[in-house]
Amino acid sequence: MKLKITEPQFRVGFILVTTLFFMWGLSYGLVDVLNKHFQEALHITKAQSGLVQAAYFGAYFVIALPAGLYINKKGYKAGIILGLSLYAIGALLFVPAASVMTFGFFLFALFVLALGLGCLETAANPYSSALGSPETAEQRLNLSQSFNGLGQFFGPLIGGLFFFNEGSNPGSEGLGAVTYTYIGIALIVFILIILFIKTQLPDLRENEAKLDAENAKTNNASLWSHAEFKFGVLTQLVYVGAQVGVGAFFINLVVETWPASSSKTGAYFLSIAMLAFLVGRFVSTGIMSKISASRLLMVYAIVNTVLCVLILSGMQYISVIAAISVFFFMSIMFPTIFAMGVKNLGSKTKIGSSFMIMAIVGGAIMPYFMGKIADHYGTHMAYVLPLICFIAVILYAANYKKMTTTNNTVNSALT
């Protein structure tokens, strides 16, 4: 019998929660454009612009565990409302940041905004994957994350259209456009807060209790007894570093390796890359019904390793085309690693999710070091770091079945 993505009783909750994936995808899509925009408007180096990602993804590390504890006590809905509130506050902080015109204030605004997104991801990722049968958890989360990809597509499109207004002063007009964009985002977020307050979401505690009982029978009740979870967190750490790094300097790569291009051109190319990411999510969700999630993850990571080698060549046109292709094959990685890592945790899913979200700190670390390499050797050479990260993803995917089998064998022996 073919398993459904989700059941009728969970459908409204699943649709509403999926809107959140679009919203934080939109925010993330804008961040990579802000990286290049701040280089021009505030006259900072590539390494300094890497602090944009450091502030953004560093907030995930700070908020993830407190958010998990809060959600564990108050529930998924309360966590979502808290996250949306912080998201709106951070977006509105762009108004005074533009008035002060300091890089530090913009970083603070992004940090507060990302605190909200970290809270949302801690709640929405496990909630989406749990709204149905465990057998379809990876497909369900990948479907929700497909709308995240849609948001990431529109982000650089909006940024390219408004932030890089050629022929004008990027410091004044460009940052004004940034401000109005984030005010618009804040208004949308306020509407979502109202919708979530008024909507009754499914309570999953009964389902979690059943899984807890099964784990207790096999002495697999401890969070850290799950090898697939422990190594999943480590893999997520390096993968997110790769994803963020690939996007952070994508526009620089275009400017340096695509003849007669500009930052605005690079932003539009980034939109194409995000479109590839979006298409990859939808297409791969369908493929996942035929091929196991771990095997597909391994194949995609192998392809991306090869594509990073092509980027390192620095060849005109080829490097950019390879970088765009990387986005397609990255499409399933975050949600698949996430779902593979937390699917068997029961009521500990919320805390396990916190550690998975904390692993996003890899995105705060990677851009600075890629920026250092880019400043000295050219942007294309910085892609050696994502290459190493994709090799780590290959190892996790290749050993996933063995990890889950070992867990079951050991726990069966103990009972």
Q: pLDDT digits over 143-158, tens only? A: 887 888 788 888 888 8
How much is the CA Rg of the chain, to the nearest whole Å?
21
**Residue 337: what pLDDT?**
95
Query: How far is the C-alpha of 301 from the C-alpha of 280, rounded, in Å?
Result: 13
Q: 108 pLDDT exceeds 90?
A: yes
Share of the chain above pLDDT 90, in %: 42
Global pTM?
A: 0.75
Tokens of residue 386, six digits: 């994502």
CB atoms within 10 A of CB 185: 22
Task: Kindly state whether residue 415 falls inside one of the protein's structural domains.
Answer: no
**Residue 339: what pLDDT?**
87
| Contact (CB, 8 A) for 274 and 324 | no
Query: How far is the C-alpha of 138 from the C-alpha of 337, rounded, in Å?
Result: 9
**Residue 168: what pLDDT?**
47
pLDDT band at 137 (very low <50, low <70, confident <90, very high): confident
**Residue 22: what pLDDT?**
92
**Residue 407: what pLDDT?**
58
Task: Kindly state whether residue 3 falls inside one of the protein's structural domains.
Answer: no
Domain of residue 22 covers 9-410
Task: Kindly state whether residue 234 falls inside one of the protein's structural domains.
Answer: yes
Q: First vs last Cα of the chain: how many Å apart?
A: 32
Q: Compute the average pLDDT of residues 311-328.
A: 97
pLDDT band at 362 (very low <50, low <70, confident <90, very high): very high
Q: Which helix (H) or strand (E) holds 412?
A: helix 384-414
Mean pLDDT, rounded, of the chain:
85
**Residue 217: what pLDDT?**
55
Task: Kindly state whether residue 4 falls inside one of the protein's structural domains.
Answer: no
Query: How far is the C-alpha of 26 from the C-alpha of 33, rounded, in Å?
Result: 11
| Contact (CB, 8 A) for 46 and 39 | yes
DSSP conformation letters of 8-77? GGGHHHHHHHHHHHHHHHHHHHHHHHHHHHHHHHTT--HHHHHHHHHHHHHHHHHHHHHHHHHHHHH-HH
Q: Compute the average pLDDT of residues 363-378.
A: 91
Task: Kindly state whether residue 140 falls inside one of the protein's structural domains.
Answer: yes
Q: Compute the average pLDDT of residues 274-285.
A: 88
Q: 215 pLDDT exceeds 70?
A: no
Q: Which helix (H) or strand (E) holds 166?
A: none
Query: How far is the C-alpha of 244 from the C-alpha of 109, rounded, in Å?
Result: 19
Q: 48 pLDDT exceeds 90?
A: no
Q: Please report the beta strands in 236-392, taking only residues with DSSP state E, as ranges in sequence order.
A: none
Q: What is the pLDDT of residues 383-412, one digit of tens each?
A: 999 999 999 999 999 999 888 766 554 444
Q: Compute the average pLDDT of residues 300-308.
A: 98
Q: Compute the average pLDDT of residues 218-229.
A: 72
| Contact (CB, 8 A) for 262 and 140 | no
DSSP conformation letters of 362-382? HHHHHHHHHHHHHHHH-GGGG
Q: Which residues contact 386 (CB under 8 A, 6 or more apart)?
A: 241, 242, 245, 246, 304, 308, 326, 366
Q: 171 pLDDT exceeds 60?
A: no
| Contact (CB, 8 A) for 55 and 240 | no
Report the domain count for the chain: 1
Q: Work out the angle at residue 83's Cα, subtended by the Cα atoms of residues 130 and 147, and round it to the nearest 5 degrees.
A: 55
Q: Residue 83 maps to which CATH number?
A: 1.20.1250.20
Task: Kindly state whether residue 269 falls inside one of the protein's structural domains.
Answer: yes
Q: 230 pLDDT exceeds 50?
A: yes
Task: Kindly state whether residue 87 falls inside one of the protein's structural domains.
Answer: yes
